[in-house]
Amino acid sequence: MKDKELRRYSRVVVDGDEQAPSRAMLRAVGFSEDDFARPQIGIASTWAMTTPCNMHINQLAEEAAQGANSAGAKAVVFNTISVSDGISMGTPGMRYSLVSREIIADSIEAVVGAEGFDGLVAIGGCDKNMPGCVMAMARLNRPAVFVYGGTIKPGAKRRDIVSVFEAVGAHSSGKISDSELLEVERTAIPGPGACGGMYTANTMASAIEALGMSLGNSSAQEAVSDQKVDDCRRAGEAVLYLLKNDIKPLDIMTRKAFENAIAVVIALGGSTNAVLHLIAMAREAGVPLTLDDFTRIGSRTPVLADLKPSGKYLMSELIAIGGIQPLMKRMLDRQLLHGDCMTVTGKTLAENLADVVDYAPGQDVIRDFDNPIKADSHLSILYGNVAPEGAVAKITGKEGLRFEGPAKVFHSEETALQAILNDEVGKGDVVVIRYEGPKGAPGMREMLSPTGAIMGKGLGAAVALITDGRFSGGSHGFVVGHISPEAALGGPIALIQDGDTLVIDAEKRQVDVNVTADEMRRRREQWRRPVSAVRGGALAKYRFEVSSASEGAVTIPPDWDQ
């Protein structure tokens, strides 16, 4: 492509006498005379000292900028926000977590659109950063590469953040002392990087790599490593290659590519949040993707990775044996992936994987196909009279495949957590946490505090939990989330009462309450939506615009023509 074509957007900002004011401003931020003739690459950094997941990303952004500059572009680093799920978990602040995904996508779109960048590198380190970055890339459709900030190193005794949440439950049961709880707290998080199991951050990083929007093994590098520095530099270089060859995100983010992402998430035993985020990303890319696609792909895809939270190993231990690329090569050889999908390398997935070496003999992090953790997906899409529009369960089989018990109903996460810690929830109960959906919270909080407390008390196999909220990737046990329609819309979950018998059946893919249709109609007539304390600001705007969890909990602007 010619120079002017490479500068499709930036030349509008910097070329011509009438743009002298723009050039004057850019000179002040470090542009030289020659820089005005180069393509401009925006480097979106999610750096913040609000979370260890992102505290190192400013350095990674500079490495990506150097890569772009060395390839002949002019890189410009800018920031977007990041909030910490781990810090806000179990508090009202967690309502802002999913909202931040939309804010991140909006802010990257705004900066790239306003500044006229010709391409984009986005670096994300925490759960919502990653889908937010990719959603912006799809909207802008300018050559772009996503870089994962990398996973955290294990804490002492292979601890991570979930160890702390579960220690809280163990402490309340008297299983560990005050000093033992403090020791776990002090040693679980040793430095920069995203949470260390196959939780949402590592799940989404793997999904984005499988989607084709990251360079090979970007998802399988520690945050503090030479490999991650190299990944950032190569990403900066790769954007210029994409620019010269006119390869854009929507050339990569096809339906087949999303099917690849779903398959890899399942093989890794990834987070339920992947369902929410992949549907949201697909919507921005104009790709039809529904809950039922997860069922269809899951029926042929086994769980092969023995990774936390349900399994044994941390992401660092998967990195040590070669990361996810050998797994993807195995899946491709079994025709579980579409090899003809374009990627940010400018090559197809099959071409990228052609020379990948298999795992060394003796490792047991990734199982063979004849010895899977589970023969089909752990992500079960459930329907039934509790969830007529769908729900998402994470059931590996270790919890069993069916649970029946009386409902213990709570109108918020906080009241449920206190009941669990106070031993008001016992074996056989089904905890129901409602009014925590996208509109109800608003913001669809994660339920790691209650699920962590249940596991810490040793009730993981004896108590089930259902919610119209969602779960951290660190949650495990017999849990069902994303129940739609949510309680705030008068969905059936709003009508469940204490003592009602609930049945969760993973094999039949149903979640039902044993109450007659007539009785449910009577309850609906008497139901009144609780008054929300949220009256304005970002949360109120989100509540007004957000769609159902079954549609990705995306914000849908009103149609101007209607």
The whole-number pLDDT of residue 84 equals 93
| DSSP-based three-state secondary structure for 264 | helix
Q: What residues have CB less than 8 Å from 315, skipping those under 6 apart?
A: 151, 196, 197, 198, 202, 220, 307
Q: What residues have CB less than 8 Å from 458, skipping those under 6 apart?
A: 173, 175
The whole-number pLDDT of residue 3 equals 66
Per residue of the chain (562 residues), what is the pLDDT tens digit? 556 789 999 999 999 999 999 999 999 999 999 999 999 999 999 999 999 999 999 999 999 999 999 999 999 999 999 999 889 988 999 999 999 999 999 999 999 999 999 999 999 998 899 999 999 999 999 999 999 999 999 999 999 888 888 888 889 889 999 999 999 999 999 999 999 999 999 999 999 999 999 999 999 999 999 999 999 999 999 999 999 999 999 999 999 999 999 999 999 999 999 999 999 999 999 999 999 999 999 999 999 999 998 899 999 999 999 999 999 999 999 999 999 999 999 999 999 999 999 999 999 999 999 999 999 999 999 999 999 999 999 887 777 789 999 999 999 999 999 999 999 999 999 999 999 999 999 999 999 889 888 988 999 889 999 999 999 877 777 899 999 999 999 999 999 999 999 999 999 999 999 999 999 999 999 999 999 999 999 999 999 999 999 999 999 776 655 4
Q: Please state the pTM of the whole predicted model.
A: 0.96
The whole-number pLDDT of residue 559 equals 65
Nearest CA to 282 out of 297, 299, 262, 302 is that of 262
Q: How far apart are CA 94 and CA 444, in angstroms?
A: 8
Q: How far apart are CA 395 and CA 374, in angstroms?
A: 10
Inter-CA distances, 417 with 379, 408, 439, Å: 25, 12, 21
Q: Is there a common fold for 39-153+191-353 and 379-551? A: no
The whole-number pLDDT of residue 404 equals 97
* Joined tokens for residue 248: 């854009």
Architecture of domain 39-153+191-353: 3-Layer(aba) Sandwich (3.40)
Catalytic residue among 219, 271, 316, 472: 472
The whole-number pLDDT of residue 452 equals 87
- Work out the burial of residue 160: count CB atoms within 10 Å of its CB; fewer than 13 is exposed, 13-18 middle, 19 or more buried: buried
The whole-number pLDDT of residue 310 equals 84
Q: Please state which of the four CATH numbers 2.30.42.10, 3.50.30.80, 3.30.10.20, 3.20.20.70 is assigned to the domain occupying 379-551.
A: 3.50.30.80
Could you confirm whether 163 is annotated as catalytic? Answer: no
Alpha helices, DSSP H only, in 194-254? 200-211, 226-244, 249-252
The whole-number pLDDT of residue 475 equals 77
Q: What residues have CB less than 8 Å from 497, skipping those under 6 apart?
A: 407, 409, 523
- Where do the domains of the chain lie? 39-153+191-353, 154-190, 379-551
Look-up: residue for tokens 């500068």? 7
The whole-number pLDDT of residue 476 equals 76
